[in-house]
Amino acid sequence: MSIEQLAETALAMVAAGKGIIAIDESNNTIAKRFAGVGVESTEEHRRAYREMLLTTPGLGEHISGAILYDETIRQSTAAGVPFTKVMMDNGIIPGIKVDKGPQPLAGFPGEVVTEGLDGLRERLKEYYQLGARFAKWRAVINIGEDIPSGSCIEANSHALARYAALCQEQGLVPMVEPEVLMDGSHDIETCYEVTEVVLRSLFDALYQQNVMLEGTILKASMVISGKDCDEQASVEEVAESTLMCLKSTVPAILPGIVFLSGGQSDEDATAHLDAMNRMGPNPWPLSFSYGRAMQSAALKIWSQDLANNVAKAQAMVHERARDNGMAALGKWSKAA
């Protein structure tokens, strides 16, 4: 695929008023989510749940793409229609999570590095054949006493850049996700400093690996107070700090930035995105790639009656998609 085609896909992923739903939880992670609402994590339950999400009427009005898990990209609806066909028929671009998750970084207690580069080229070829047109790799950066170290940041940036280069080689738009975790008692100033260093390292590594930025999407964490910090920053402070950090580190040629919700409440994730877009214009479209903030309310509804609550759960999915789509335009209102 040419850089023009990659750029076209990347721009479609951040089309005005649209964002991405992340339904790429590993089987272990979704088992924990299901356990929280009393649903057994069988393959059929996981398939039915993902079908409920992906067949939501009108989902394509506010959702441009969906990140899938390896199991999910191979699944079909109860009627036998592949999920990827359902998505493409509704204008939703299929994406795929390809990393193997964070593992302890040897020699650096309390820090992790994401694995999954071995055999990635062949996996990307298969995912392209299955219909994927973008991929996602998540790096995890912890804030704590004397961490993150420069070595941890460099190791994760290098892995993200190698992954991104391999994606573009196979015709997939890479979504690069360096998540600075909310866990901890650090203040918003500390989060800003760490996020700035991480993003500078990431874009330097992407440059070193000849990754074409015009065919790349950044999935960013917001600059926010640690969840155990005594002083929680306001919506305006989070928006202002996040924008300042991004403007000082992210090249303007990037097609767009999507945010992860990262443990924020549903409403906070929407309010922060809305505030950033109200402060525009910005150098790039700012949208969302939310998992829990898109799904949690719908999962609770669905879990109460798997067979009969599908329509109710889908109405909640559509409502969350609409709210975040409006926030991506800076036009969200709590009363809407």
* Residues carrying an active site annotation: 177, 219
64, two tokens: 């441009």
Dihedral-angle region of residue 80 (phi above 0 means left; psi in -120 to 50 means alpha; beta otherwise): left
**Which amino acid makes up residue 260?**
L
Residue 76 burial class via C-beta count within 10 angstroms: exposed 0-12, middle 13-18, buried 19 and up: middle
